[in-house]
Amino acid sequence: MVKALVFAALAAVVPAAAVAQARLPISQHPPAGITVTGHGTVTVRVQQLWFVALVRGTADEQSIRAALEAAGIDNVSIGSEGSAVFPNAPTAVRGMIHDVSPLRLDQVRAAAADFVRTHPGTTIDNIRFTPPLVGCATNFEQPARENAMADARRKAEALAAASQVSLGAIVAVDESGGCPTIDPGSVMSAGQTNFNLTTLTAAVNVTETVTYAIR
């Protein structure tokens, strides 16, 4: 009985408009629009390469360093592969190759094969390459971004024409890709860069997901 009296009193003092307003949904639907994904790529001819080779065996650091320097490789460092050391873990040998060309890489491969042959018990698990893209953000990432935005615009215009609407302003952009993060002091994040060992080129890719308002 008391509850009924309280509800009756509230109904008398709270305006109907306020009651109706309280029943409105908390969140509204987003405005109508067209969402598309654009892709942009800039391909770069590689002039320099960081590399990391994983070496096993008993070869001493001095002989490894001497072999690398004889092959014309500089910025040599020798240490663990990552931030932790494990039993029987390979040694990570790092360096930079200049004036990259198929002939130059063949010379490096030949030097590695000679080293293994002259140091019995030594093996090289693999060699990974990462190009240092100097000025990447300005020279490569930004043009790739512009290409991606142009690609997104082209797709959005085609969809708008097919839907018999007009494009409005951009209301949202989500980007992925861009310049790789390279740390020559670590394992150099090898494999994160789209480097083609056959063509000696690296690709910087940017993807833009863009939402346009429509009218």
Q: What is the pLDDT of residues 100-122, one digit of tens each?
A: 999 999 988 899 999 999 999 89
| Phi and psi, residue 20, nearest 5° | -65, -40
Residue 196, domain member (yes or no) = yes
Residue length, the chain? 215
Output 45 or 14, whichever has higher pLDDT: 45
pLDDT digits (tens, 9 = 90+) for 172-210: 999 999 987 755 444 444 334 578 989 999 999 999 999
Q: Which two tokens stand for residue 202?
A: 């690296």
Residue 106 Cα distances to 56, 84, 119, angstroms: 22, 32, 20
pLDDT at 32: 72
Same-domain check for residues 121 and 143: no
Res 130: pLDDT: 87
Domain CATH code at residue 96: 3.30.70.120
pLDDT for residue 140: 94
Q: Containing domain of residue 141, as a range? A: 33-45+134-214
CATH number for the domain including 192?
Answer: 3.30.110.170
**Minimum mean pLDDT range among 12-26, 86-100, 173-187:** 12-26
Q: Could you tell me if 125 and 159 lie in one domain?
A: no
* Boundary-marking domain end, from 130, 148, 181: 130
* pLDDT at residue 167 greater than cutoff 90: yes
For residue 85, the model assigns a pLDDT of 67
User: What phi and psi values does residue 64 have, to the nearest 5 degrees?
Assistant: -65, -45
- Predicted TM-score (pTM) above 0.75: no
Same domain, 37 and 55: no
How many domains does the chain fold into? 2
Highest mean pLDDT range out of 12-26, 59-73, 152-166, 188-202?
A: 152-166
pLDDT, average across residues 25-34: 62
| Same domain membership, residue 165 and residue 123 | no
The mean predicted confidence, pLDDT, of the chain is: 82
Residue 16 has pLDDT above 90, yes or no: no
Query: Which position has the higher pLDDT, 154 or 14?
Result: 154
| Boundary-marking domain end, from 79, 103, 130 | 130
41 & 142 share domain: yes
* Final residue belonging to a domain, choices 130, 164, 182: 130
- Asked whether residue 165 falls in the same domain as residue 191, the answer is yes
Averaged over 127-132, what is the pLDDT? 87
Clarify whether residues 138 and 39 are in a common domain.
Answer: yes
For residue 3, tell me if it sits in a domain.
no
Task: Check residue 144 and give its pLDDT.
Answer: 96
Give the whole-angstrom CA distance, residue 44 versus residue 140: 8
Please give the pLDDT value at position 7: 42
